[in-house]
Chain A
Amino acid sequence: MSTAAPPQKAAPPRERTGGRLSNGAFALLLTAPGLALFAAIIIYPLLSALFTGFFKQDLRLPGREFVGLENFTYWLDGDFLTILKQTLVFTVGATIVPFVLGFALALALNSGLKGSGFLRGLFLFPWVIPGVVVSFLWMWIFNANYGVLNGILMKAGVIEESISWLGQPTTAMLAVIITKTWASFPWMMVMLLAGLQTVPKELHEAASMDGAGSIRRFFAVTWPQVRGVASIVLLLEFIWNFQHFDTIYVLTGGGPAGSTETFATAVYQTAFKGFDIGRATALGGLWMLLLLVLVVVYLRITERKGDAR
């Protein structure tokens, strides 16, 4: 990750002239507004919610009852692994597919096609159409009985009977991923295109002279230059997809038969459709625990790298 910025950068203005504050205090002062906001609207609500995970509580009724780990075991004995698996399938799928498409398109637009500036602008459409509308649009396209996708496929003779895209477990997950892909590949394309444009032309020319084919040139010249951007878009998209809600909620509501349920939809449905705040927050807690493990592992790895240097 490129943000794990060079740690041993020549230490910034440590001994300062002027200012009455020490550097540390100044740095802390800078973070103060952010931290205050962070604590008030993220950390506090989160901890307060997580605490609820130990209670049996109905969203509609006052009062609650301490039940220990019951809410947690409910998930662990039940759907936790299934939901985890589906969350990962969705997250990975909806990160990789738009990345590949976005990258391919960026490469193409970077090769000097006419009108690529205009095209680039046009492709922003899917990105700024409000997310729920995107989901409804695709719901409309995928509709088993009057959707345009089935219409086209039938006309082309690919299928004989309508396929119920959102009604079967495998195609439903696919449909959800495709929809999310459509909404997010444009911004990945824009970012990657920008990365590609920083690749000096001379490098390509030189590599061409040396007789490198286009694939070799890609790996020798292009990839090292865009690796930074690529890792940023991948990481961000991964993070966003992990807690993504709208697309799945609108398109399948987690169905059919729970086959597209992810953490985000399960927490929401349990809390707001089932009114079971205790169980919802317990699932949220498990999810956070999992994240914590990931972060610690990540820190371990980056720390070791740091030591090696």
Chain B
Amino acid sequence: MTTSGISRRGALRMFGIGALGVAGAGALGACAPSGASTSSNGGDTKSKNFDFTSWSLNEEAAKPSIEKIIAAWEKAEKSKIRAVSYPYNEYLSQLTLKLGGGETTGAVHLDIAWLAAVAQMGKLADLGSVAVDAGYTDVALESGKYDGKQYGLPWNTGSIGVIANAKLLEKAGIKKHPTTVEEFEAALRELKGLGGGVVPYAAATKVAQLKDIFPWMQTFGCELLDGAKVTIGDDASIDAVTWYKKLHDEKLIAADVDRFDARALFGQGKAAFYDDAIIGKGVTAAQSKDKTLADAMQPMKRPVLTAGDTPQALLWGGVIAVVKGKGQDAATEFALHTTTDQATVAQYFAERALPPSTKAGLIDPKVVNDTFSTQWTEKITKTATGSPFWQFAQNAQIEEAVAKQVQAVLVGKSKPKDAMKQAGEEVAALIKR
């Protein structure tokens, strides 16, 4: 059946021509999908109804509290809020895609680490005039800024820091929180000595949260970014990773740990320290059998290299941004109300333990009476700073590039020096792109 061969070849040729034609069409059409940002979404900015996009709107744990806020607003304003949500891990990608396509309007909940990436798309409204007299703390206001403009109204402002289990420390005979890296390491060894599968420090070792190593790099003296120069790859960063690897090899920290795992370990009383945001306390305590654990959880200043250094901590929190166009005005009002209305803020804190962003909110009895929160603010948030990489749209890639290199060191695929050199180069390349 030789004819089939000929006909096939003929057909392939035909198909080739056809494909060229389609490719041409594709070239024309391709501009539309990618550059579809012509839409300033032109909708009615005065519309009372608007969308609110937040990952928390679907999560079992968070949904009721937010739905309450929405329902109250709808009732008071006689308007309709359409709730939109994506899974947390896909949130930024999905939001980006949909914002680019003009699909997302109204108010948008953002992690402060994502603000720059989203703001750069040029679709968010400048809320500077609204924010200025709303009573936010300075740190909070700062967390909603990108390129000098107020793109986000801070909703919750906290930090990621170290939480210690006082009971375990006591058991290991550690009288006070270690303040230097050296003391910290000694404490970890003591804790390891307790046996029973204790992971002294449930530090992040999975790529997803390995960005937790940044504060440690800073602790060792690496600035991460000096002006426009990436300093990852300098001696301090290598020292930090070498130290992390040492902890890993001595099983003072464990492999394959992310934030969820860390909380689980801590909840079982198997970890004495771990990094978390302030909200972690409630989550961790809730999944622990030991009902006294909550009382044993203490915020701790991150140990420093030499006594007297400033403890490092990462700013953490959420803001509400508003997309220009349809429903913009009402969404702005809603964002302001949600983040500043005293009763709303206090209630939200009571339900979710997320620290408010306003000065008045912080001195609300509900907040003040929570010693863990006040201690946290004092010991951790006070010296917390944002990551220098947040200003770049490529932040997620930067964090991942570094995380992958650190992980390569941990699993023994690479040496600290080579890995950090490469991480530095990758980050520099990413910033330039």
A positions within 8 Å CB-CB of B: 7-8, 39, 43-44, 47-48, 50-52, 56-64, 143-146, 161-162, 164-169, 253, 255-259, 272-277, 299, 303, 306-307, 309
Task: Report Cα–Cα, A8/B411, bound state, in Å.
Answer: 57
Instruction: Give 18 A-B contacts (CB < 8 Å), ordered by A residue.
Output: A39-B22, A48-B27, A50-B23, A58-B393, A60-B393, A61-B37, A64-B34, A145-B261, A168-B255, A253-B208, A255-B207, A272-B93, A275-B393, A276-B433, A277-B34, A303-B8, A306-B4, A307-B5
Q: Is the pair B256, A164 in contact by a Cβ cutoff of 8 Å?
A: yes
Contacts of B30 in A (CB 8 A): 48, 51-52
What residue in chain A is nearest B396 (Cβ atoms)?
Answer: A273
Task: Report Cα–Cα, A306/B6, bound state, in Å.
Answer: 12
Contacts of A64 in B (CB 8 A): 34-35
Which of B139-147, B228-236, B300-308, B400-408 lies at the binding interface? Answer: B400-408
Task: Name the prevailing secondary structure of the A interface residues.
Answer: loop
Q: Is the pair B254, A257 in contact by a Cβ cutoff of 8 Å?
A: no
With A51-B30, A275-B393: A146-B264 Cβ-Cβ less than 8 Å: yes
Q: Is the pair A51, B27 in contact by a Cβ cutoff of 8 Å?
A: yes
Query: Lowest 4 CB-CB distances: which A-B pairs, in order?
Result: A167-B256, A48-B26, A164-B255, A167-B255
Task: Report Cα–Cα, A303/B12, bound state, in Å.
Answer: 14
Q: Is the pair A306, B1 in contact by a Cβ cutoff of 8 Å?
A: yes
What residue in chain A is nearest B405 (Cβ atoms)?
Answer: A257
With A256-B407, A258-B404: A169-B413 Cβ-Cβ less than 8 Å: yes
One of A52, A143, A276 near B261 (C-beta < 8 A): A143
Interface size on B, residues (CB 8 A): 59
Contacts of B407 in A (CB 8 A): 255-257
Q: Is the pair B264, A60 in contact by a Cβ cutoff of 8 Å?
A: no
Contacts of B255 in A (CB 8 A): 144, 164, 167-168
What residue in chain A is nearest B393 (Cβ atoms)?
Answer: A60
What residue in chain B is nearest A279 (Cβ atoms)?
Answer: B433
Contacts of A7 in B (CB 8 A): 1, 4
Q: Is the pair B265, A48 in contact by a Cβ cutoff of 8 Å?
A: no
B199 at the binding interface (Cβ < 8 Å):
yes
Q: Is the pair B268, A146 in contact by a Cβ cutoff of 8 Å?
A: yes
B100 at the binding interface (Cβ < 8 Å):
yes
Q: Is the pair A168, B254 in contact by a Cβ cutoff of 8 Å?
A: no
B28-43 CB contact bits vs A (8 Å, 1 = yes)? 0110011111100000
B positions within 8 Å CB-CB of A: 1-2, 4-5, 8, 19, 22-23, 25-27, 29-30, 33-38, 90, 92-93, 96-97, 99-100, 117-118, 120-121, 197, 199, 205-208, 251, 254-257, 261, 264-265, 268, 270, 393-394, 396-397, 400, 404, 407-408, 410-411, 413-414, 433
Task: Report Cα–Cα, A44/B33, bound state, in Å.
Answer: 12
Contacts of B5 in A (CB 8 A): 303, 306-307
Q: Is the pair B411, A256 in contact by a Cβ cutoff of 8 Å?
A: yes
Task: Report Cα–Cα, A145/B204, bound state, in Å.
Answer: 13
- Interface contacts beyond A64-B34, A146-B268, A275-B96: sample of 5 additional A-B pairs, CB < 8 Å, sorted by A: A56-B433, A60-B96, A258-B408, A275-B394, A276-B397
Contacts of B256 in A (CB 8 A): 143-145, 164-167, 256
Contacts of B413 in A (CB 8 A): 169, 257
Q: Identify the interface centre among B30, B404, B408, B433: most chain A CB within 10 Å of its CB.
A: B30
What residue in chain B is nearest A58 (Cβ atoms)?
Answer: B393
Q: Is the pair B205, A47 in contact by a Cβ cutoff of 8 Å?
A: no
Task: Report Cα–Cα, A37/B19, bound state, in Å.
Answer: 15
With A48-B30, A167-B411, A168-B411: A273-B93 Cβ-Cβ less than 8 Å: yes
Q: Is the pair A48, B96 in contact by a Cβ cutoff of 8 Å?
A: no
Q: Is the pair B22, A44 in contact by a Cβ cutoff of 8 Å?
A: yes
With A255-B207, A256-B207: A273-B397 Cβ-Cβ less than 8 Å: yes
Q: Is the pair B100, A255 in contact by a Cβ cutoff of 8 Å?
A: no
Contacts of A47 in B (CB 8 A): 19, 22-23, 26
Contacts of A44 in B (CB 8 A): 22, 25-26, 29
Q: Is the pair B26, A255 in contact by a Cβ cutoff of 8 Å?
A: no
Task: Report Cα–Cα, A273/B246, bound state, in Å.
Answer: 31
What residue in chain B is nearest A254 (Cβ atoms)?
Answer: B207
Task: Report Cα–Cα, A63/B100, bound state, in Å.
Answer: 12
Task: Report Cα–Cα, A56/B25, bound state, in Å.
Answer: 20
A151–chain B nearest beta-carbon distance, Å:
11
Contacts of B25 in A (CB 8 A): 44
Task: Report Cα–Cα, A60/B35, bound state, in Å.
Answer: 9
One of A48, A164, A256 near B254 (C-beta < 8 A): A164
With A60-B100, A162-B197, A275-B96: A169-B411 Cβ-Cβ less than 8 Å: yes
Q: Is the pair A59, B408 in contact by a Cβ cutoff of 8 Å?
A: no
Contacts of A309 in B (CB 8 A): 1
A164–chain B nearest beta-carbon distance, Å:
4
B111–chain A nearest beta-carbon distance, Å:
14
A224–chain B nearest beta-carbon distance, Å:
25
Task: Report Cα–Cα, A56/B96, bound state, in Å.
Answer: 17
Contacts of B97 in A (CB 8 A): 59, 272
B404–chain A nearest beta-carbon distance, Å:
6
Task: Report Cα–Cα, A247/B19, bound state, in Å.
Answer: 33
Q: Is the pair B22, A43 in contact by a Cβ cutoff of 8 Å?
A: yes
Contacts of B414 in A (CB 8 A): 257
Q: Is the pair B397, A167 in contact by a Cβ cutoff of 8 Å?
A: no
Q: Is the pair A62, B197 in contact by a Cβ cutoff of 8 Å?
A: no
B412–chain A nearest beta-carbon distance, Å:
9
